[in-house]
Copies of this chain bind each other. A is one copy, B any other.
Protein backbone atom coordinates (compact mmCIF):
# COMPACT_ATOMS: atom_id res chain seq x y z
CA UNK A 1 0.00 0.00 0.00
CA UNK A 2 1.92 3.08 1.23
CA UNK A 3 2.73 5.54 -1.53
CA UNK A 4 -0.13 4.43 -3.77
CA UNK A 5 -2.77 5.18 -1.14
CA UNK A 6 -1.17 8.52 -0.28
CA UNK A 7 -1.39 9.60 -3.91
CA UNK A 8 -4.98 8.42 -4.11
CA UNK A 9 -5.79 10.46 -1.00
CA UNK A 10 -4.46 13.60 -2.67
CA UNK A 11 -6.42 12.87 -5.80
CA UNK A 12 -9.62 12.26 -3.85
CA UNK A 13 -9.18 15.43 -1.78
CA UNK A 14 -8.92 17.37 -5.01
CA UNK A 15 -11.98 15.71 -6.55
CA UNK A 16 -13.94 16.48 -3.37
CA UNK A 17 -13.10 20.15 -3.80
CA UNK A 18 -14.19 19.97 -7.41
CA UNK A 19 -17.33 18.04 -6.38
CA UNK A 20 -16.59 15.30 -8.94
CA UNK A 21 -18.47 12.70 -6.93
CA UNK A 22 -18.98 10.12 -9.67
CA UNK A 23 -15.23 9.83 -10.17
CA UNK A 24 -14.72 9.39 -6.42
CA UNK A 25 -17.35 6.66 -6.34
CA UNK A 26 -15.32 4.74 -8.91
CA UNK A 27 -12.17 5.06 -6.81
CA UNK A 28 -14.01 3.87 -3.72
CA UNK A 29 -15.46 0.87 -5.50
CA UNK A 30 -11.96 -0.48 -6.20
CA UNK A 31 -10.86 -0.18 -2.56
CA UNK A 32 -10.64 -2.87 0.10
CA UNK A 33 -11.77 -1.93 3.62
CA UNK A 34 -8.20 -1.93 4.94
CA UNK A 35 -7.12 0.34 2.09
CA UNK A 36 -9.94 2.71 2.94
CA UNK A 37 -8.68 2.77 6.53
CA UNK A 38 -5.23 3.80 5.37
CA UNK A 39 -6.71 6.36 3.00
CA UNK A 40 -8.65 7.91 5.87
CA UNK A 41 -5.40 8.64 7.71
CA UNK A 42 -4.47 11.19 5.06
CA UNK A 43 -7.85 12.98 5.07
CA UNK A 44 -9.75 15.22 7.48
CA UNK A 45 -12.78 13.90 9.36
CA UNK A 46 -15.06 16.07 7.18
CA UNK A 47 -13.57 14.58 4.03
CA UNK A 48 -13.93 11.02 5.34
CA UNK A 49 -17.58 11.66 6.24
CA UNK A 50 -18.19 12.91 2.70
CA UNK A 51 -16.62 9.73 1.33
CA UNK A 52 -18.72 7.54 3.60
CA UNK A 53 -21.85 9.25 2.28
CA UNK A 54 -20.79 8.34 -1.26
CA UNK A 55 -20.62 4.61 -0.47
CA UNK A 56 -23.42 2.63 -2.15
CA UNK A 57 -25.24 1.28 0.95
CA UNK A 58 -25.16 0.71 4.72
CA UNK A 59 -23.62 -2.72 4.28
CA UNK A 60 -20.68 -1.14 2.50
CA UNK A 61 -20.36 1.58 5.10
CA UNK A 62 -20.40 -1.04 7.87
CA UNK A 63 -17.66 -3.03 6.12
CA UNK A 64 -15.41 0.00 5.69
CA UNK A 65 -16.11 1.46 9.13
CA UNK A 66 -15.16 -1.79 10.88
CA UNK A 67 -11.56 -1.28 9.79
CA UNK A 68 -11.21 2.26 11.12
CA UNK A 69 -9.90 3.17 14.55
CA UNK A 70 -12.36 4.05 17.26
CA UNK A 71 -11.85 7.83 17.19
CA UNK A 72 -12.60 7.98 13.51
CA UNK A 73 -15.56 5.59 13.86
CA UNK A 74 -17.22 7.70 16.52
CA UNK A 75 -16.46 10.91 14.64
CA UNK A 76 -18.20 9.55 11.55
CA UNK A 77 -21.12 8.11 13.52
CA UNK A 78 -21.75 11.47 15.23
CA UNK A 79 -21.62 13.26 11.88
CA UNK A 80 -24.13 10.84 10.36
CA UNK A 81 -26.65 11.10 13.19
CA UNK A 82 -28.09 8.49 15.53
CA UNK A 83 -30.66 6.98 13.15
CA UNK A 84 -28.11 6.29 10.44
CA UNK A 85 -25.53 5.16 13.00
CA UNK A 86 -27.81 2.47 14.36
CA UNK A 87 -28.63 1.30 10.82
CA UNK A 88 -24.92 0.91 10.13
CA UNK A 89 -24.33 -0.91 13.41
CA UNK A 90 -27.04 -3.34 12.44
CA UNK A 91 -25.13 -4.19 9.28
CA UNK A 92 -21.80 -4.62 11.08
CA UNK A 93 -20.55 -8.00 12.25
CA UNK A 94 -21.87 -8.36 15.80
CA UNK A 95 -18.36 -8.43 17.30
CA UNK A 96 -17.30 -5.23 15.54
CA UNK A 97 -20.51 -3.49 16.59
CA UNK A 98 -19.94 -4.60 20.18
CA UNK A 99 -16.33 -3.34 20.05
CA UNK A 100 -17.59 0.07 19.00
CA UNK A 101 -20.42 0.28 21.51
CA UNK A 102 -18.17 -0.93 24.31
CA UNK A 103 -15.77 1.96 23.85
CA UNK A 104 -18.11 4.93 23.57
CA UNK A 105 -20.01 6.59 26.43
CA UNK A 106 -22.51 4.15 28.02
CA UNK A 107 -25.40 6.53 27.51
CA UNK A 108 -24.75 6.97 23.78
CA UNK A 109 -24.31 3.23 23.46
CA UNK A 110 -27.69 2.71 25.14
CA UNK A 111 -29.41 5.18 22.78
CA UNK A 112 -27.98 3.47 19.70
CA UNK A 113 -28.99 0.03 20.97
CA UNK A 114 -32.53 1.24 21.62
CA UNK A 115 -32.80 2.30 17.99
CA UNK A 116 -31.87 -1.19 16.78
CA UNK A 117 -34.24 -4.16 16.31
CA UNK A 118 -34.62 -5.91 19.66
CA UNK A 119 -33.09 -9.24 18.69
CA UNK A 120 -29.90 -7.76 17.30
CA UNK A 121 -29.55 -5.36 20.20
CA UNK A 122 -29.77 -8.27 22.63
CA UNK A 123 -27.13 -10.19 20.73
CA UNK A 124 -24.73 -7.28 20.94
CA UNK A 125 -25.53 -6.67 24.61
CA UNK A 126 -24.63 -10.26 25.35
CA UNK A 127 -21.25 -9.79 23.67
CA UNK A 128 -20.76 -6.55 25.62
CA UNK A 129 -21.29 -8.38 28.91
CA UNK A 130 -18.02 -10.33 28.58
CA UNK A 131 -14.92 -9.18 30.43
CA UNK A 132 -12.09 -7.77 28.34
CA UNK A 133 -9.54 -10.27 27.01
CA UNK A 134 -11.87 -13.26 27.39
CA UNK A 135 -12.77 -15.49 24.46
CA UNK A 136 -16.34 -14.19 24.79
CA UNK A 137 -15.20 -10.60 24.29
CA UNK A 138 -13.70 -11.29 20.84
CA UNK A 139 -16.25 -13.79 19.52
CA UNK A 140 -19.04 -13.04 17.09
CA UNK A 141 -22.59 -14.31 17.29
CA UNK A 142 -22.90 -14.37 13.48
CA UNK A 143 -22.01 -18.05 13.11
CA UNK A 144 -23.78 -20.85 11.25
CA UNK A 145 -25.31 -23.62 13.40
CA UNK A 146 -27.60 -26.41 12.21
CA UNK A 147 -29.49 -29.32 13.82
CA UNK A 148 -28.14 -32.85 13.24
CA UNK A 149 -30.94 -34.18 11.04
CA UNK A 150 -30.21 -32.06 7.95
CA UNK A 151 -28.77 -33.65 4.82
CA UNK A 152 -25.64 -32.27 3.14
CA UNK A 153 -27.73 -30.80 0.32
CA UNK A 154 -30.17 -29.13 2.70
CA UNK A 155 -27.27 -27.75 4.69
CA UNK A 156 -25.68 -26.16 1.61
CA UNK A 157 -29.02 -24.65 0.66
CA UNK A 158 -29.39 -23.15 4.13
CA UNK A 159 -25.83 -21.82 4.06
CA UNK A 160 -26.66 -20.06 0.81
CA UNK A 161 -29.59 -18.34 2.55
CA UNK A 162 -27.64 -17.45 5.68
CA UNK A 163 -24.52 -16.29 3.88
CA UNK A 164 -25.27 -12.54 3.85
CA UNK A 165 -25.71 -12.52 7.65
CA UNK A 166 -22.94 -14.88 8.74
CA UNK A 167 -19.38 -13.68 9.30
CA UNK A 168 -17.84 -16.93 8.12
CA UNK A 169 -19.55 -19.87 6.46
CA UNK A 170 -16.65 -22.27 5.96
CA UNK A 171 -17.36 -24.06 9.23
CA UNK A 172 -20.85 -25.18 10.15
CA UNK A 173 -21.46 -26.10 13.78
CA UNK A 174 -23.96 -28.78 14.68
CA UNK A 175 -26.07 -28.40 17.80
CA UNK A 176 -28.56 -30.67 19.55
CA UNK A 177 -32.05 -29.68 20.71
CA UNK A 178 -30.64 -27.93 23.76
CA UNK A 179 -28.28 -25.86 21.57
CA UNK A 180 -25.33 -27.87 22.83
CA UNK A 181 -22.39 -28.09 20.45
CA UNK A 182 -22.12 -31.69 19.21
CA UNK A 183 -20.21 -31.49 15.94
CA UNK A 184 -18.56 -29.48 13.22
CA UNK A 185 -18.34 -29.85 9.46
CA UNK A 186 -16.45 -27.74 6.96
CA UNK A 187 -18.09 -26.38 3.84
CA UNK A 188 -15.38 -28.28 2.00
CA UNK A 189 -16.56 -31.60 3.40
CA UNK A 190 -20.18 -30.63 2.77
CA UNK A 191 -19.73 -29.96 -0.92
CA UNK A 192 -17.82 -33.18 -1.56
CA UNK A 193 -20.25 -35.27 0.51
CA UNK A 194 -23.09 -37.33 -0.93
CA UNK A 195 -25.97 -34.78 -1.11
CA UNK A 196 -28.33 -37.15 0.72
CA UNK A 197 -25.96 -37.96 3.57
CA UNK A 198 -27.13 -36.82 6.99
CA UNK A 199 -24.72 -34.28 8.49
CA UNK A 200 -24.79 -36.20 11.77
CA UNK A 201 -23.05 -39.03 9.90
CA UNK A 202 -20.37 -36.98 8.18
CA UNK A 203 -19.64 -34.37 10.85
CA UNK A 204 -16.57 -34.39 13.10
CA UNK A 205 -17.85 -35.25 16.56
CA UNK A 206 -14.62 -34.49 18.33
CA UNK A 207 -15.08 -30.70 18.27
CA UNK A 208 -12.37 -28.51 19.72
CA UNK A 209 -13.96 -25.49 21.41
CA UNK A 210 -13.11 -22.84 23.95
CA UNK A 211 -15.02 -21.67 27.01
CA UNK A 212 -16.45 -18.13 26.72
CA UNK A 213 -14.83 -17.03 30.00
CA UNK A 214 -11.38 -18.32 29.12
CA UNK A 215 -8.51 -16.02 28.17
CA UNK A 216 -8.36 -14.96 24.53
CA UNK A 217 -4.76 -16.19 24.43
CA UNK A 218 -6.02 -19.74 24.90
CA UNK A 219 -8.22 -19.33 21.84
CA UNK A 220 -5.28 -17.91 19.89
CA UNK A 221 -3.09 -20.82 20.86
CA UNK A 222 -5.69 -23.40 19.77
CA UNK A 223 -6.26 -21.73 16.40
CA UNK A 224 -2.50 -21.45 15.80
CA UNK A 225 -1.84 -25.06 16.85
CA UNK A 226 -4.73 -26.67 15.00
CA UNK A 227 -4.57 -24.44 11.89
CA UNK A 228 -8.29 -23.68 12.21
CA UNK A 229 -10.02 -20.84 10.35
CA UNK A 230 -12.46 -20.40 13.25
CA UNK A 231 -13.11 -21.79 16.72
CA UNK A 232 -16.51 -22.33 18.36
CA UNK A 233 -17.11 -20.80 21.79
CA UNK A 234 -19.34 -22.53 24.35
CA UNK A 235 -20.58 -21.51 27.79
CA UNK A 236 -20.21 -23.61 30.94
CA UNK A 237 -23.30 -25.65 29.96
CA UNK A 238 -21.73 -26.63 26.63
CA UNK A 239 -24.14 -24.41 24.70
CA UNK A 240 -22.73 -22.83 21.53
CA UNK A 241 -22.63 -19.07 22.08
CA UNK A 242 -20.19 -17.77 19.47
CA UNK A 243 -17.31 -18.22 17.10
CA UNK A 244 -13.85 -16.67 16.94
CA UNK A 245 -12.39 -16.20 13.46
CA UNK A 246 -8.73 -16.43 12.51
CA UNK A 247 -8.46 -12.77 11.45
CA UNK A 248 -9.48 -11.65 14.94
CA UNK A 249 -6.92 -14.07 16.38
CA UNK A 250 -4.17 -12.46 14.30
CA UNK A 251 -5.08 -9.13 15.89
CA UNK A 252 -5.07 -10.72 19.34
CA UNK A 253 -1.64 -12.22 18.69
CA UNK A 254 -0.23 -8.88 17.57
CA UNK A 255 -1.63 -7.05 20.58
CA UNK A 256 -0.52 -9.70 23.05
CA UNK A 257 3.02 -9.59 21.66
CA UNK A 258 3.10 -5.80 21.86
CA UNK A 259 1.83 -6.00 25.42
CA UNK A 260 4.47 -8.60 26.30
CA UNK A 261 7.26 -6.58 24.72
CA UNK A 262 6.19 -3.45 26.56
CA UNK A 263 6.01 -5.36 29.81
CA UNK A 264 9.46 -6.79 29.18
CA UNK A 265 10.95 -3.30 29.26
CA UNK A 266 8.86 -2.32 32.26
CA UNK A 267 6.22 -0.25 30.56
CA UNK A 268 3.00 -0.97 32.37
CA UNK A 269 0.37 -3.15 30.79
CA UNK A 270 -2.57 -0.78 31.12
CA UNK A 271 -2.05 1.09 27.90
CA UNK A 272 -1.09 -1.93 25.84
CA UNK A 273 -1.01 -1.51 22.12
CA UNK A 274 -2.18 2.05 22.19
CA UNK A 275 0.93 3.30 23.99
CA UNK A 276 2.56 4.81 20.91
CA UNK A 277 -0.50 6.96 20.21
CA UNK A 278 -0.98 8.06 23.82
CA UNK A 279 -0.09 11.45 25.26
CA UNK A 280 3.39 12.05 26.69
CA UNK A 281 1.98 12.16 30.21
CA UNK A 282 0.27 8.77 29.75
CA UNK A 283 3.41 7.29 28.27
CA UNK A 284 5.52 8.63 31.14
CA UNK A 285 3.08 7.29 33.73
CA UNK A 286 3.11 3.84 32.13
CA UNK A 287 6.86 3.66 32.60
CA UNK A 288 7.41 5.43 35.91
CA UNK A 289 6.50 2.68 38.37
CA UNK A 290 9.17 0.29 37.11
CA UNK A 291 11.68 3.08 36.79
CA UNK A 292 11.21 3.91 40.47
CA UNK A 293 11.86 0.30 41.36
CA UNK A 294 14.90 0.49 39.13
CA UNK A 295 16.02 3.66 40.90
CA UNK A 296 15.68 2.09 44.31
CA UNK A 297 17.67 -0.89 43.02
CA UNK A 298 20.31 1.49 41.69
CA UNK A 299 20.54 3.20 45.07
CA UNK A 300 20.96 -0.18 46.77
CA UNK A 301 23.68 -1.02 44.26
CA UNK A 302 25.22 2.33 45.19
CA UNK A 303 25.13 1.29 48.85
CA UNK A 304 27.23 -1.71 47.91
CA UNK A 305 29.79 0.68 46.43
CA UNK A 306 29.53 2.84 49.54
CA UNK A 307 30.03 -0.14 51.81
CA UNK A 308 33.35 -0.75 50.10
CA UNK A 309 34.34 2.93 49.88
CA UNK A 310 37.50 2.35 51.95
CA UNK A 311 38.97 -0.01 49.44
CA UNK A 312 37.71 2.22 46.64
CA UNK A 313 39.64 5.12 48.09
CA UNK A 314 42.81 2.99 48.10
CA UNK A 315 42.28 1.33 44.76
CA UNK A 316 40.38 3.93 42.79
CA UNK A 317 40.84 1.84 39.62
CA UNK A 318 38.18 -0.54 40.97
CA UNK A 319 35.63 2.14 40.07
CA UNK A 320 36.67 2.07 36.41
CA UNK A 321 35.14 -1.38 36.01
CA UNK A 322 31.81 -0.71 37.67
CA UNK A 323 30.16 0.13 34.30
CA UNK A 324 31.36 -3.02 32.55
CA UNK A 325 30.18 -5.28 35.40
CA UNK A 326 26.77 -3.61 35.47
CA UNK A 327 26.39 -3.58 31.68
CA UNK A 328 27.42 -7.14 31.07
CA UNK A 329 25.46 -8.57 33.99
CA UNK A 330 22.35 -6.67 32.99
CA UNK A 331 22.61 -7.70 29.37
CA UNK A 332 23.21 -11.39 30.00
CA UNK A 333 20.38 -11.45 32.54
CA UNK A 334 18.03 -9.71 30.12
CA UNK A 335 19.01 -12.08 27.32
CA UNK A 336 18.36 -15.16 29.45
CA UNK A 337 15.07 -13.90 30.78
CA UNK A 338 13.84 -12.65 27.41
CA UNK A 339 14.67 -15.91 25.65
CA UNK A 340 12.94 -17.85 28.43
CA UNK A 341 9.85 -15.61 28.44
CA UNK A 342 9.49 -15.89 24.66
CA UNK A 343 9.99 -19.65 24.69
CA UNK A 344 7.30 -19.96 27.36
CA UNK A 345 4.94 -17.74 25.35
CA UNK A 346 5.34 -19.74 22.15
CA UNK A 347 5.11 -23.06 23.95
CA UNK A 348 8.63 -24.07 22.89
CA UNK A 349 9.52 -24.41 26.54
CA UNK A 350 7.27 -26.28 28.92
CA UNK A 351 7.33 -25.59 32.61
CA UNK A 352 8.30 -29.20 33.32
CA UNK A 353 11.49 -28.76 31.30
CA UNK A 354 12.57 -26.25 33.95
CA UNK A 355 15.51 -28.15 35.37
CA UNK A 356 17.04 -28.96 32.01
CA UNK A 357 16.71 -25.39 30.78
CA UNK A 358 18.32 -23.86 33.85
CA UNK A 359 21.24 -26.24 33.51
CA UNK A 360 21.59 -25.37 29.81
CA UNK A 361 21.56 -21.64 30.57
CA UNK A 362 24.04 -22.09 33.41
CA UNK A 363 26.45 -23.63 30.91
CA UNK A 364 25.77 -20.75 28.51
CA UNK A 365 26.52 -18.28 31.29
CA UNK A 366 29.70 -20.12 32.21
CA UNK A 367 30.92 -20.21 28.62
CA UNK A 368 30.21 -16.54 28.07
CA UNK A 369 31.61 -15.71 31.49
CA UNK A 370 34.89 -17.57 30.87
CA UNK A 371 35.46 -16.04 27.44
CA UNK A 372 34.59 -12.46 28.33
CA UNK A 373 36.13 -12.77 31.80
CA UNK A 374 39.52 -13.79 30.38
CA UNK A 375 39.31 -11.05 27.75
CA UNK A 376 38.49 -8.44 30.36
CA UNK A 377 41.32 -9.66 32.63
CA UNK A 378 43.78 -9.11 29.81
CA UNK A 379 42.37 -5.66 29.09
CA UNK A 380 42.54 -4.72 32.77
CA UNK A 381 46.09 -6.00 33.01
CA UNK A 382 47.28 -3.98 30.01
CA UNK A 383 45.25 -0.90 30.88
CA UNK A 384 46.02 -0.67 34.60
CA UNK A 385 49.16 -2.81 34.69
CA UNK A 386 47.80 -4.42 37.86
CA UNK A 387 47.77 -8.20 37.97
CA UNK A 388 45.55 -8.44 41.03
CA UNK A 389 42.97 -6.08 39.54
CA UNK A 390 42.96 -8.18 36.37
CA UNK A 391 42.19 -11.33 38.32
CA UNK A 392 39.55 -9.61 40.44
CA UNK A 393 37.68 -8.13 37.52
CA UNK A 394 37.88 -11.22 35.26
CA UNK A 395 36.77 -13.61 37.97
CA UNK A 396 33.97 -11.29 39.12
CA UNK A 397 32.66 -10.91 35.60
CA UNK A 398 32.62 -14.66 35.08
CA UNK A 399 30.77 -15.35 38.34
CA UNK A 400 28.38 -12.44 37.73
CA UNK A 401 27.44 -13.73 34.29
CA UNK A 402 26.75 -17.24 35.57
CA UNK A 403 24.54 -15.78 38.29
CA UNK A 404 22.88 -13.48 35.73
CA UNK A 405 22.08 -16.40 33.41
CA UNK A 406 20.66 -18.46 36.28
CA UNK A 407 18.53 -15.66 37.73
CA UNK A 408 17.43 -14.59 34.26
CA UNK A 409 16.15 -18.08 33.54
CA UNK A 410 14.81 -18.89 36.97
CA UNK A 411 12.78 -15.77 37.62
CA UNK A 412 10.37 -16.09 34.63
CA UNK A 413 9.87 -19.76 35.49
CA UNK A 414 9.09 -18.95 39.13
CA UNK A 415 6.73 -16.18 38.03
CA UNK A 416 4.93 -18.63 35.73
CA UNK A 417 4.63 -21.13 38.60
CA UNK A 418 3.05 -18.54 40.91
CA UNK A 419 0.82 -17.39 38.04
CA UNK A 420 2.37 -13.94 37.55
CA UNK A 421 3.02 -12.89 33.97
CA UNK A 422 6.67 -13.83 33.35
CA UNK A 423 7.12 -10.87 30.98
CA UNK A 424 7.53 -8.51 33.93
CA UNK A 425 10.42 -10.66 35.13
CA UNK A 426 12.67 -9.39 32.38
CA UNK A 427 13.91 -5.86 31.83
CA UNK A 428 14.12 -3.51 34.80
CA UNK A 429 13.58 -6.11 37.52
CA UNK A 430 16.30 -8.42 36.24
CA UNK A 431 18.84 -5.65 35.61
CA UNK A 432 18.23 -4.22 39.06
CA UNK A 433 18.68 -7.51 40.86
CA UNK A 434 21.76 -8.45 38.87
CA UNK A 435 23.41 -5.05 39.28
CA UNK A 436 23.33 -5.41 43.03
CA UNK A 437 24.51 -9.00 42.84
CA UNK A 438 27.26 -8.19 40.37
CA UNK A 439 28.65 -5.29 42.38
CA UNK A 440 28.51 -7.35 45.56
CA UNK A 441 30.51 -10.11 43.89
CA UNK A 442 32.96 -7.64 42.38
CA UNK A 443 33.69 -5.62 45.50
CA UNK A 444 33.75 -8.49 47.97
CA UNK A 445 36.09 -10.45 45.71
CA UNK A 446 38.19 -7.35 45.03
CA UNK A 447 38.51 -6.38 48.68
CA UNK A 448 39.33 -9.97 49.60
CA UNK A 449 42.07 -10.20 46.99
CA UNK A 450 43.57 -6.82 47.82
CA UNK A 451 43.40 -7.55 51.54
CA UNK A 452 45.33 -10.81 51.33
CA UNK A 453 47.56 -10.24 48.30
CA UNK A 454 47.57 -6.49 47.75
Interface of A toward B, CB cutoff 8 Å = 1, 30, 32, 34, 156, 159-160, 163-164, 169-170, 187-188, 191-192, 206, 208, 223-227, 229, 246-247, 249-251, 253-254, 257-258, 261-262, 264-267, 273, 275-277, 280-281, 283-284, 287-288, 290-292, 294-295, 297-299, 301-306, 309, 312-313, 316-317, 319-328, 330-332, 334-335, 338-340, 342-343, 346, 348-349, 357, 360-361, 363-364, 367-368, 371-372, 375-376, 379, 383, 427-428, 431-432, 435, 439
Contacts and interface: CB of A to CB of B under 8 A. Distances in A.
A107 B275 CA distance: 52
Contact of A267 (B32, B339, B367): B339
A332 B364 contact: no
Contacts of A367: 280-281, 284
A225 B251 CA distance: 9
A250 B253 contact: yes
29 contacts: A34-B227, A156-B191, A169-B188, A187-B191, A267-B338, A276-B342, A276-B349, A276-B357, A277-B348, A283-B364, A284-B364, A291-B332, A294-B328, A294-B331, A295-B327, A295-B375, A299-B383, A301-B323, A305-B319, A305-B320, A305-B322, A305-B323, A313-B316, A319-B322, A323-B326, A323-B435, A327-B330, A327-B435, A334-B427
A299 B379 contact: yes
Contact of A30 (B187, B206, B254, B276): B206
B246 A229 contact: yes
Contacts of A266: 331, 335
Contact of A191 (B159, B294, B309, B319): B159
Nearest to A159: B191
Contact of A261 (B160, B305, B332, B342): B342
Nearest to A245: B227
Contacts of A435: 323, 326-327
Contacts of A30: 206
Question: From DSSP, what is the main secondary structure of chain A's interface residues?
Answer: helix
Contacts of A322: 302, 305, 319, 322-323, 326
Contacts of A304: 323
A102 to B, nearest CB: 20
A262 B322 CA distance: 26
Contacts of A334: 265, 427
